[in-house]
Amino acid sequence: MAIRKFLDRGGIYVGASAGSLIAGLNIEPAGWQHPERNTDNLKDLTAMKLVPFVISTHTDDKNIDLIRSCASKVSYPVVALTDKQAILVENGKQRIVGVGKKHIFNTKEKF
């Protein structure tokens, strides 16, 4: 994948909203908040796998219970980001930057 090669050469990937979602393992969280948007019945939800978890974007007080519930039904790690947060990956380690509570499900890994 061209993006992986770019990153391996020291490039930087920046994604917001869908650009963050697609960096994870899959794009399943997009359907958690908006299941009616998959009008093409997309079956393959595989993403770029730049990080070893899925990213749920636009998390806030209104949807955190839904995200928590959906995350409890999957086996992979889920990181739910607010609009004031990002994930910074440096030297193989990731951390959540920005303000607000960290919402991380299905992993004991530190962020």
Give me the DSSP letters along 47-106.
Answer: ---SSSSEEE-S--TTTHHHHHHHHTT-SS-EEE--TTEEEEEETTEEEEEESS--EEES
Give the predicted TM-score (pTM) of the model: 0.88
Confidence band for 91, pLDDT divided at 50, 70 and 90: confident
Q: Looking at domain 15-30+44-105, which of 3.40.50.880, 3.30.200.20, 3.40.605.10, 1.10.260.40 is its CATH number? A: 3.40.50.880
What is the average pLDDT across 70-74? Answer: 96
What secondary structure letter does DSSP report for 45? Answer: -
Check residue 111 and give its pLDDT.
Answer: 81
Domain assignments of the chain as residue spans, ordered by start = 15-30+44-105
Q: Is 106 left (phi over 0), alpha (psi -120 to 50) or beta?
A: left
Q: At residue 108, what are phi and psi to the nearest 5 degrees?
A: -105, 0
d(CA 86, CA 71): 19
User: What is the widest separation between alpha-carbon atoms in the chain?
Assistant: 40
How far is C-alpha 14 from the geometric centre of its chain's CA atoms? 13
- Dihedrals phi, psi of 94, to nearest 5 degrees: -115, 150
